[in-house]
Amino acid sequence: MIRASLTAIAMAAFAVAAPAAAATIEFSPAVVFDMGGKFDKSFNEAAYAGAERFKKESGVAYREFEVTQEAQRDQGLRNMARRGANMIIAIGFAQATPLEKVAKEYKHARFTIIDAVVDLPNVQSVVFKEHEGSFLVGMAAAMASKTNKVGFIGGMDIPLIRKFALGYVEGAKFVNPAVEVLQNMTGTTPAAWNDPTKGGELARSQFDRGADVIYAAAGGTGVGVLQAAKDGKKFAIGVDSNQNYLHPGTMLTSMVKRVDVAVYEAFKSAQANKWKGGISNLGLKEDGVGYSLDDHNKSLITADMQKRLDQARTDIIAGKLKVTDYTAKK
């Protein structure tokens, strides 16, 4: 369903666009992953899944690069463009500045950036309303909590993660104003995105302080949080990808961010020459974010919970319920 509706939106958006001038040039897609690496089970892996799906369906192989150094962002994007890639997807907000430079130099190439806005005619910016999805899982956490304490574990203390955290807190307080939200960030270096050990420790300490549901928005670090929840028989909430399958029974839900769909759609529309620059801001309305409900967690989300979540979802889409966007505050 998500797939269908997003496709519809994408089609609607792209239908207005005239086919790109470079119609005869061979379609050559590429992805530049961010530092977390394409197998982070979360953000980058969602992008990888989208690219793989496109490859499987269309039979068109794509080039890829994983950034390991700051300077390689620029280098990776430039290399792709120079070697003839004409549909390049940059994953992660940190690529915005290098992308701006490279996109100006390679005007014939099309770029899509996830999680940031670059205002150029040959760049499509896809951002997500993570706060809306986080609001819903915050509600789920507060409803599932018996101790009235829920936890949040972020990766690094950057605006994007504060956006997740704020939405989560608002959602939890919406259900129960008395609920206490414990918050921790994993670290101050990029290692914080890939430190399951520390994620596990933080989770255990939050459990010890009384929390019984923890939301991990920390990339690969989250794997440790989810594991700790399983070991302690408490609940955890996954992020970006649907992580419910990792530990059925203790995975309350996942805040899914459809990076996979965004990547897939970008490739697909570009192949069909329907790709168009501009900004798309995907929230609950566009099914760009949401909470996951599948066989692995359907016993944990009661009918009553689901009803309240769906109601909140409808209200947010209708604008009746406002969730604060941390990054829009200033």
Partner 1 sequence: MSAASPTALPRWVDVVALPAVNLLAAFLLSGLVVVAIGEDPFQAMGLLVTGAFGNAESIGYTLYYATNFIFTGLAVAIAFHAGLFNIGGEGQAYIGGLGVGLVCLWLGDLPAVLVVPLAILTGAAFGAAWAAVPAYLQAYRGSHIVITTIMFNFIAASVMTYLMVNVLIRPSQQSPESREFATAATLPRLHEIADAVGLEITASPLNLAFLWALICAALFHVFLWRTRWGYEIRAVGANETAAIYAGISPARIIILAMAISGALAGFVALNELMGVHHRIILNFTGGYGFVGIAVALIGRNRPLGICLAALLFGALYQGGSELSFDMPNVTRELVVVIQGLVILFCGALENLFRGRIAAYFQRPATAGAVS
Residues 156-185 within binding reach of partner 1 (CB under 8 A): 156-160
Classify residue 2 as left (phi > 0), alpha (psi -120 to 50) or beta. alpha
Q: Which of 170, 181, 115 is nearest to 145 (CA)?
A: 181
Amino acid at 94: A
Residue type, 312: A
Distance CA 261, CA 54 (A): 10
Q: Which is nearer to partner 1, 201 or 231 (CB)?
A: 201
Q: Is 5 in the site for partner 1 (CB under 8 A)?
A: no
Complete DSSP assignment for 294-330: -TTTTTTS-HHHHHHHHHHHHHHHHTSS----GGG--
Q: Which segments of the chain does DSSP mark as H helices, in order?
A: 2-15, 43-58, 70-82, 96-105, 130-144, 159-175, 196-208, 222-231, 259-271, 303-318
To the nearest 10°, report the CA torsion of 318, 295, 127, 97.
160
Residues of this chain, 35-74, that bind partner 1 according to CB under 8 A: 37, 63-66, 68-72, 74
Q: What is the dihedral of CA 319, 324, 326, 330, to 10 degrees?
A: 80
Interacting positions 121-160 with partner 1 (CB under 8 A): 156-160
Which is nearer to partner 1, 39 or 121 (by Cβ)?
39
CB of 57 to partner 1, least distance (A): 19
Least distance CB 229 / partner 1 (angstroms): 27
Q: Is 279 in the site for partner 1 (CB under 8 A)?
A: no
* Least Cβ distance, residue 323 to partner 1 (angstroms): 17
Q: Which of 58, 75, 271, 306 binds partner 1 (CB under 8 A)?
A: 75
Binding mask 230-269 for partner 1 (x = CB under 8 A): ----------------------------------------
**CA gap 77, 162 in Å, rounded:** 28
Residue 306 is a binding residue for partner 1 (CB under 8 A): no
197 contributes a contact to partner 1 by CB under 8 A:
no
Cβ partners under 8 Å of residue 198, min gap 6? 186, 187, 192, 221, 224
Compare residues 114 and 237 and give the one whose CB is closer to partner 1.
114
Q: Based on CB atoms, which residue is closest to partner 1, 108 or 233?
A: 108
Task: Give 37 or 210: the residue with its C-beta nearer to partner 1.
Answer: 37
Q: How many residues bind partner 1 (CB under 8 A)?
A: 31
Site residues for partner 1 per CB under 8 A: 37, 63-66, 68-72, 74-76, 79, 93-94, 96-97, 115-116, 156-160, 187-190, 327, 330
